[in-house]
Amino acid sequence: MITLGEYIVAKQHEFPEASGELTQLLGSIRLAAKVVNREINKAGLVDIIGATGAENVQGEQQQKLDLYANEKFKAALEARGEVCGVASEEEEDIIIFNGKKQSHSKYVVLMDPLDGSSNIDVNVTVGTIFSIYRRLSPVGTPVILDDFLQPGYKQVAAGYVVYGSSTMLVYTTGHGVHGFTCDPSLGVFYLSHENMQIPQDGVIYSINEGNYIKFPDGVKKYIKYCQERDPQTSRPYTSRYIGSLVADFHRNLIKGGIYMYPSFASAPKGKLRLLYECNPIAFLTEQAGGKASDGFRRIMDIEPTELHERTPFFCGSINMVQQVEAFMAQYSHEEHPEFHG
Ligand code: AHM
Ligand code: MG
């Protein structure tokens, strides 16, 4: 049985310039994940479910657990000193850690502390998503917005925690995707899924079909393709949608499948946020042999301009994502004329 801590230390040599800071940083995330996990497990018994009555910067209802998770992850990341700043779905601006401990910090973290939080009240799986970059501004000075507005291909590490029937932490540092399951009696994450690979083809498609009428034609055509009968390709595919990106992605990673959150008329850039939802999931997807796209281009190549910017998102098994991209190019190219001359 190899613990997460042991595994990260054993893999430290994969970074030629590693000085143990990234190892410590992942340790902070592991600690916060355990604290949040403990609280989620008590939901229903203590006063932690339900909305706070406040809205976040995106105009969404904040849940009590959203704020709890946000505070715990921030505190864990600030405490050790490897991280000089954080950006979060729950905070409008970047958070600058400017203490003595941070005088040598070189990493920034972007996170969705509790993804899928509308599922909390009904005991359905939620998650935490994180993305780690090296800062661009000089070490020892306060971090600036540009440290966070980096394209996804520059990520140093990314991962998620899925608080499900068991709790797992899955991460990549660009050397494959590795999953660890928490033993609840010991509170220790053990290596359970080394080198995770997403099947090239899958039979699961995950999308909020309630929005069908508003989807781009390319997506409508792809959904119909998924539903058509073709014994050669196991179609019709199975539809599965939990409404927690982390949970839907985790299932598709293991079984093969595609997750889609496209644009639609009232949301021309979709719903999901590029920097702390799509980029980290895209990094994991590619490291597992899959593909992540906005329908036309690679997610990790998008140059961000705003902290909370959104993007349409298609990710999962490579052949499925290529198929939806082919439909988008054929039926929805007018939405992105810049890519089609
Ligand atoms: P959140 O970060 O506010 O929880 O929103 C992101 C979530 C994803 O986890 C999920 O896939 C999607 O929003 C569900 O949205 P919808 O209810 O529109 O299908
Ligand atoms: Mg989210």
Q: Domain boundaries in the chain?
A: 4-193, 204-339
Within a 10 A sphere around the Cβ of 294, how many other Cβ atoms?
A: 25
Within a 10 A sphere around the Cβ of 134, how many other Cβ atoms?
A: 14
Asked if residue 288 lies in contact with residue 253, where contact means CB atoms within 8 angstroms, the answer is yes
Name the residue with the closest Cα to ligand 1, atom 6. 116
Q: What average pLDDT does the segment 118-127 reach?
A: 89
Q: Which of 321, 268, 265 is nearest to 296 (CA)?
A: 321
Find tokens 């040598």 and name the residue: 104
pLDDT, greater one: 47 or 262: 262
pLDDT value of position 338: 53
Q: What average pLDDT does the segment 199-215 reach?
A: 96
Ligand 1: centre distance to CA 162 (Å): 14
pLDDT over 90, % of the chain: 77
For 3, which DSSP code? B
270 alpha carbon, closest ligand: 1
d(CA 7, CA 259): 29
Name the residue with the closest Cα to ligand 1, atom 14. 243
Ligand 2: centre distance to CA 115 (Å): 4
Confidence band of 61 (pLDDT split at 50, 70, 90): confident
Q: 3.30.70.270, 3.90.1150.10, 3.30.540.10, 3.55.40.10: which CATH number matches 4-193?
A: 3.30.540.10
Q: What average pLDDT does the segment 196-222 reach?
A: 96
Ligand 1: centre distance to CA 261 (Å): 9
> Which of the listed ranges 10-24, 110-124, 142-156 does the model predict with the highest average pLDDT?
142-156
d(CA 33, CA 227): 38
Residue 58 carries which side chain, given as an amino acid letter?
Q
Distances (CA, A) of 256 to 187, 227, 229, 247, 262: 29, 17, 19, 13, 19
245 alpha carbon, closest ligand: 1
End-to-end Cα spacing for the chain = 54
pLDDT value of position 341: 38
Ligand 1: centre distance to CA 295 (Å): 18
Residues flanking ligand 1, CB < 6 Å: 60, 89, 112, 115-117, 208, 243-245, 271
pLDDT value of position 264: 86
pLDDT value of position 18: 66
Ligand 1: centre distance to CA 243 (Å): 6
pTM: 0.95
CATH of domain 204-339: 3.40.190.80
Which residues, other chains included, contact 236 with Cβ-Cβ below 8 Å and sequence gap of 6+?
A: 226, 227, 228, 229
Backbone φ and ψ for 133, nearest 5 degrees, come out as: -125, 155
Asked if residue 95 lies in contact with residue 123, where contact means CB atoms within 8 angstroms, the answer is no
162 alpha carbon, closest ligand: 1
DSSP β-bridge partners for residue 129: 112, 160
List the single range of 39-53, 102-116, 141-155, 239-253 with lowest mean pLDDT: 39-53
